Amino acid sequence: MTENRPMRPNPLVTRREMVGIAGMAGLTSLAGTAADAAPQTQQRRPRIACCVSFWGAPGSHADWIICKLMDGYWWQGAHTSSRVDVVSAYIHQFDTSELGQKVCKAKSIPIYKTVGEAVTLGGKELAVDGVVIVGEHGNYPTDLKGHWLLPRWWIYRVLSISLRKEG
């Protein structure tokens, strides 16, 4: 018989710490742990392309997420620096995304006209290590059921097609 007591979190390890431990374990296994291995040089920071539907309001999902990727974030009174470099952007509703245009200009991040150009930095080969897709906000229609037709799936499909051409 079970009791209806609220579960208390384990005070030894928080979820955030566990994710960090798991991530470090993965990095350690990738880097190698042989005793005779040469000391690791500083790792290159991952290069990230950001593909968003709309970036026109402070505190919008795109603004909130991408600014933290660029500048880091504050947590419990301490600043955590970003561990990635945002190197390109694609904004689906470019004309109404003035905030995104200003932020990218201030940070010298090029905004590309297509998803494919954003992930290749205008070249012919994949030039980023990761892609962040933020498909929230913007002026988009709804379907007959009232679902907001944000371009998340479209951005993902164009991205996957661009990556298949690379491989």
Mean pLDDT, each 10-residue run in order, the chain (167 residues): 48 54 46 50 86 84 89 90 92 82 93 90 89 78 71 68 63
- What are the beta bridge partners of residue 123? none
Contact indicator for 25, 124 with CB cutoff of 8 Å: no
* Res 33: pLDDT: 46
Contact indicator for 99, 93 with CB cutoff of 8 Å: no
* Res 12: pLDDT: 52
Could you report the per-residue pLDDT of 45-75, keeping only the tens digit for each? 999 999 988 888 888 888 889 999 998 988 9
For 43-166, CATH number out of 3.30.420, 3.40.50, 3.30.2450, 1.10.287 equals 3.40.50
* Res 29: pLDDT: 41
Q: What is the domain partition of the chain in residue ranges?
A: 43-166
Q: What's the predicted TM-score (pTM) here?
A: 0.65
Determine how many CB atoms are found less than 10 A away from the CB of residue 16. 9
Q: How many residues in the chain?
A: 167
